[in-house]
């Protein structure tokens, strides 16, 4: 028996041990020691909707949209839909004044179904098919980011009215980190190397097409970038290239899209992007570059995705078993894993894990949280601290799972993908229902 069992009133005075760097702002322990998000106990959500389940704090998403608009009042903020593209998110971010970028016909369909103004949609992707480009043109999307010479040919055949386009350039900036997220280097699959013959040819071809309007350049440096100086360097290089286009073709490009990739903290102590500092550095670099090249100031666009939705998300799991290996690890197996969070296997991502249905105060153990899928590498978190008296049936919560979890989720082992439950003001509602075995079987052809 603990002191809290003897004096339950002490629970209300318990300090929160939830790191504000990785949890939504409206997260705390209630009087019963349970974690609540948006005024709703996570354990209640687990009971009502089952597990594994994604929980999304609507107010956190909206607050982060507002923070970007405050930091960049003259820039266009474009939500990067690949982080999490569902109708509710598209509605929330556009209500907060953001545009939306999509990179497939499916994401475009979601945005349109959510009522997003097509003029505020940007179409991305390094492998856009004829059908996808056709869908984008027919929908009247505001801009299409050209990623290859082939796309120019296709667009010139599809566009019957002037279509605004951007050319994606690789500025040759290495932000280091995992190879899978370094997209600003010259030798990679996206865009055209800055200053290359291919980039020059892309510009020239677009300018020759009567129904294509080249309005600017686009670049993306990578993901999880916490040093804002990289963006200052990107501004300098991209404005210099815009000046070359003016010199060579007599055309002034008016838009510069710097992409996203702003880092968020997944665990306490992780570095993250300071957007106020980023705004200052971009502003200074833009002033200096435009003055140096006597070039009129372009409209800046930024594409945060992870930075908008990552910290708004929490994933819930129920403990299935606890296994102590003599001379080895303690494995806590849960009812989810790499099917709903593939980032650990793909990128070596690391997460915090806490008990959601009670506030543990006793001894702890070092444990590895393992997934339910039939892969030895299906590990959600290694060597973390959990209560020594953890029991099957308890609910675990993993913070900062709003970005790239639902987007990358699979039906591996024929396990359906989790639902998404939104919370706000003490209420919860289902945004995406759980994928069932019947859903999976419906694709079978007799």
* Predicted confidence (pLDDT) per residue in 314-351, tens digit: 999 999 999 999 988 999 999 999 999 999 999 999 99
- Is pLDDT above 60 for 165? yes
- CA–CA gap between residue 278 and residue 424 (Å, rounded): 30
Please tell me whether 96 is known to bind a ligand.
no
**pTM summary value:** 0.92
* Predicted confidence (pLDDT) per residue in 118-159, tens digit: 999 999 999 999 999 999 999 999 999 999 999 999 999 999
Q: Which of 65, 290, 374, 400 is catalytic?
A: 374
Please tell me whether 91 is known to bind a ligand.
no
* Predicted confidence (pLDDT) per residue in 29-85, tens digit: 999 999 999 999 999 999 999 999 999 999 999 999 999 999 999 999 999 999 999
Q: Tell me, yes or no, if 290 is annotated catalytic.
A: no
Residues in the chain: 446
E strand residue ranges, 291-387: 299-302, 313-324, 330-334, 354-355, 364-370, 379-387
- Is pLDDT above 60 for 184? no
Please tell me whether 49 is known to bind a ligand.
no
- CA–CA gap between residue 368 and residue 384 (Å, rounded): 6
Please tell me whether 205 is known to bind a ligand.
no
Which pLDDT belongs to residue 17? 66
Region at 176 (left for phi over 0; alpha for psi -120 to 50; beta for the rest): left
Please tell me whether 419 is known to bind a ligand.
no
- CA–CA gap between residue 161 and residue 210 (Å, rounded): 9
E strand residue ranges, 171-246: 192-193, 212-218
Assess whether the previous peptide bond of 265 is cis (omega < 30° from 0): no
Q: Which CATH number fits domain 3-57+311-441: 3.90.700.10, 3.40.190.10, 3.10.129.10, 2.40.37.10?
A: 2.40.37.10
Average pLDDT (156-174) is 94
Class of domain 58-309: alpha beta
Please tell me whether 60 is known to bind a ligand.
no
Query: How many Cα atoms are found within 13 Å in the side-chain-facing hemisphere of 315?
Result: 30
Rg (CA), the chain: 24
List the domain boundaries for the chain. Answer: 3-57+311-441, 58-309
CB 49 within 8 A of CB 430: yes
């Amino acid at each position: 028996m603990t002191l809290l069992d003897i004096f339950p009133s002490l629970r209300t005075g318990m300090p929160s041990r939830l790191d504000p760097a990785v949890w939504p702002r409206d997260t705390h322990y209630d009087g019963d020691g349970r974690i609540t998000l948006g005024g709703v106990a996570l354990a209640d959500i687990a009971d009502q909707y089952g597990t594994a389940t994604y929980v999304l704090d609507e107010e956190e998403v909206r607050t982060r949209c507002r923070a970007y608009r405050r930091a960049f009042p003259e820039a266009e903020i474009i939500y990067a839909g690949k982080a999490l593209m569902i109708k509710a998110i598209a509605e929330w971010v556009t209500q907060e004044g953001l545009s939306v970028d999509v990179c497939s016909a499916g994401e475009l369909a979601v945005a349109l179904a959510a009522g997003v103004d097509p003029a505020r949609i940007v179409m991305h992707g390094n492998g856009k098919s004829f059908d996808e480009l056709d869908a984008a043109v027919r929908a009247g999307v505001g801009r299409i980011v050209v990623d290859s010479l082939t796309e120019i040919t296709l667009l010139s055949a599809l566009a019957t009215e002037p279509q605004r386009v951007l050319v994606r350039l690789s500025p040759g900036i290495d932000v280091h980190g995992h190879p899978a997220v370094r997209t600003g280097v010259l030798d990679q699959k996206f865009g055209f190397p800055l200053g290359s013959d291919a980039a020059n040819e892309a510009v020239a071809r677009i300018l020759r097409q009567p129904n294509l309007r080249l309005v600017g350049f686009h670049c993306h440096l990578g993901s999880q970038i916490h040093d804002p100086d990289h963006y200052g360097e990107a501004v300098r290089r991209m404005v210099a290239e815009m000046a070359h286009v003016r010199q060579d073709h007599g055309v002034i490009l008016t838009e510069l899209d710097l992409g996203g990739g702003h880092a968020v903290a997944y665990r306490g102590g992780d570095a993250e992007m300071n957007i106020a500092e980023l705004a200052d550095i971009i502003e200074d670099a833009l002033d200096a570059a435009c003055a140096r090249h006597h070039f009129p100031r372009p409209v800046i666009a930024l594409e945060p995705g992870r930075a908008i939705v990552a910290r708004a998300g929490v994933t819930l799991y129920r403990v299935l078993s606890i296994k102590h290996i003599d001379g080895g690890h303690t494995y806590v197996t849960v009812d989810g894993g790499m099917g709903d969070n593939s980032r650990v296997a793909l990128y070596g991502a690391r997460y915090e894990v806490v008990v959601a249905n009670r506030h543990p105060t006793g001894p702890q153990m070092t444990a590895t949280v393992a997934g339910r899928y039939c892969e030895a590498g299906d590990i959600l978190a290694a060597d973390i601290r959990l209560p020594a008296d953890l029991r099957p049936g308890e609910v675990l919560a993993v913070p900062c799972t709003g970005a790239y979890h639902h987007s990358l989720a699979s039906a591996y082992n024929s396990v359906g993908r989790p639902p998404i439950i939104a919370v706000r003001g003490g209420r919860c509602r289902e945004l995406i229902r759980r994928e069932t075995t019947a859903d999976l079987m419906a694709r079978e052809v007799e």
